[in-house]
């Protein structure tokens, strides 16, 4: 997609498909920069060149948006790790500040947008209370507010509970920029029993500009879920933009397990043989766009060649004959 200087994400979505970036923490762990199993992004401060180079890979692969490398960077998560003896020597504020600056610097090399990512806290899951949960999002918002000139829109992602997502969107909207939100759910709905369709309607009713799914499920399961989401929204007369960022690993046996890919015995470190091919990535991007998904990106395991396949497929800037044999996904 052609971009003008610092276009709005809403303008890009209205003009055609937007390509997001790919996996951060999982790829950095594979390259040796992140501790396995805890998935916090202190590498932004401790190994900035490694993180920056990864973001550049996504940019030059065709991403229209670079997300701040700040997943799970909030005081609650970092303090929890320190309590468990997995010491983190930097603060969430330091990580988020570095993440904002780095994402902006990389995005400007290719005239891309910057998305600041909010993550679920720990207070909601521990039943500490709504006020405590909101304070965790407000803490994340504080650093992002200080760097608002670097940020084009906000995304609350990786939510297992739609009620917690609603709290996050409420805080993100106070920052007065476009807002997106996504959940790590599939066919079984959220962790408290809210159906996939009900979650879709609740997400849309927050007033978020874009809603969808990320992580936990593969391209086939995600496509099936996005079809159900689109149908539910149409039935209610709701029309937010749609986004989808699946994992790279093919895990059909996890389709009806709420834990998704993490229900597999080889997760998270033995999934290499399950990585989708470029043909499958092309087919996913085409199917997602035909369903009505406006923002197509990747989550855990998705690397730059997958992002390149997404961009090539929906933007048409590749040699057609090379991909004439691409796999057709069966979306039920």
216 with 261: CB under 8 angstroms? yes
Q: Convert the pLDDT of each residue in 245-282 to its tens digit.
A: 999 999 999 999 999 999 999 999 999 999 999 999 99
Q: Convert the pLDDT of each residue in 4-49 to its tens digit.
A: 457 899 999 999 999 999 999 999 999 999 876 667 788 999 999 9
Q: Between 130-146 and 162-172, two packed helices, what is the crossing angle to 10 degrees?
A: 40
pLDDT, tens digit only, all 332 positions of the chain:
444 457 899 999 999 999 999 999 999 999 999 876 667 788 999 999 999 999 999 999 999 999 999 998 877 777 666 555 555 678 889 999 999 999 999 999 999 999 999 999 988 988 888 899 999 999 999 999 999 999 999 999 999 999 999 999 999 999 999 999 999 999 999 999 999 999 999 999 999 999 999 999 999 999 999 999 999 999 999 999 999 999 999 999 999 999 999 999 999 999 999 999 999 999 999 999 999 999 999 999 999 999 999 999 999 865 443 444 344 444 44
How much is the pLDDT for 135? 93
Residue 209: Cβ within 10 Å count? 18
How is the chain split into domains, by residue range? 9-323
> In sequence order, what are the residues at sequence separation of 6 or more whose Cβ sits closer than 8 angstroms to the Cβ of residue 49?
none
User: What phi-psi label fits residue 61: left (phi over 0), alpha (psi between -120 and 50 degrees) or beta?
Assistant: alpha
How much is the pLDDT for 86? 57
- The predicted model scores a pTM of 0.93
Instruction: Give strand pairing partners of 19.
Output: 296
Residue 229: Cβ within 10 Å count? 26
310 with 281: CB under 8 angstroms? yes
CATH second-level architecture of 9-323? Alpha-Beta Barrel (3.20)
How much is the pLDDT for 248? 98
How much is the pLDDT for 79? 67
Compute the distance between CA of residue 305 and CA of residue 284 in angstroms, rounded to an integer.
Answer: 14
Token pair recorded at residue 259: 């834990």
Token pair recorded at residue 246: 């699946």
How much is the pLDDT for 208? 98
């Amino acid at each position: 997609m052609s971009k003008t200087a610092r276009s709005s994400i809403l303008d890009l979505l209205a003009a055609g498909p937007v390509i997001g970036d790919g996996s951060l923490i999982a790829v950095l762990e594979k390259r040796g920069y992140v501790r396995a199993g805890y998935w916090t992004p202190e590498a932004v401060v401790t190994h900035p060149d490694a993180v920056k180079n990864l973001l550049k890979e996504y940019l030059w692969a065709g991403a229209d948006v670079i997300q701040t490398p700040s997943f799970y960077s909030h005081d609650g998560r970092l303090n929890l790790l320190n309590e468990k003896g997995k010491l983190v020597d930097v603060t969430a504020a330091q990580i988020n500040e570095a993440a904002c600056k780095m994402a902006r610097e990389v995005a400007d090399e290719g005239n891309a947008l910057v998305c600041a990512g909010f993550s679920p806290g720990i207070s909601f899951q521990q039943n500490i209370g709504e006020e405590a949960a909101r304070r965790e999002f407000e803490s994340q918002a504080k650093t992002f507010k200080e760097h608002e000139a670097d940020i084009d829109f906000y995304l609350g992602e990786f939510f297992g509970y739609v009620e917690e997502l609603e709290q996050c969107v409420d805080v993100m909207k106070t920052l007065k920029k476009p807002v997106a939100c996504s959940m790590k759910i599939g066919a079984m709905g959220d962790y408290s029993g809210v159906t996939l369709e009900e979650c879709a309607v609740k997400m849309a009713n927050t007033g978020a500009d874009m809603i969808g799914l990320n992580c936990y499920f593969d391209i086939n399961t995600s496509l099936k879920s996005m079809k159900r989401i689109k149908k539910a929204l149409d039935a209610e007369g709701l029309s937010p933009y749609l986004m989808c960022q699946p994992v790279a690993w093919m895990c059909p046996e996890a389709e009806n397990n709420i834990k998704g890919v993490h229900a597999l015995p080889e997760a998270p470190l033995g999934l290499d043989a399950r990585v989708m091919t470029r043909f499958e990535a092309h087919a996913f991007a085409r199917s997602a766009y035909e369903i009505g998904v406006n923002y197509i990106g990747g989550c855990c395991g998705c690397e730059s060649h997958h992002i390149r396949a997404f961009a090539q497929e929906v933007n048409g800037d590749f040699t057609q004959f090379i991909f004439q044999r691409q796999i057709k996904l069966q979306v039920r």
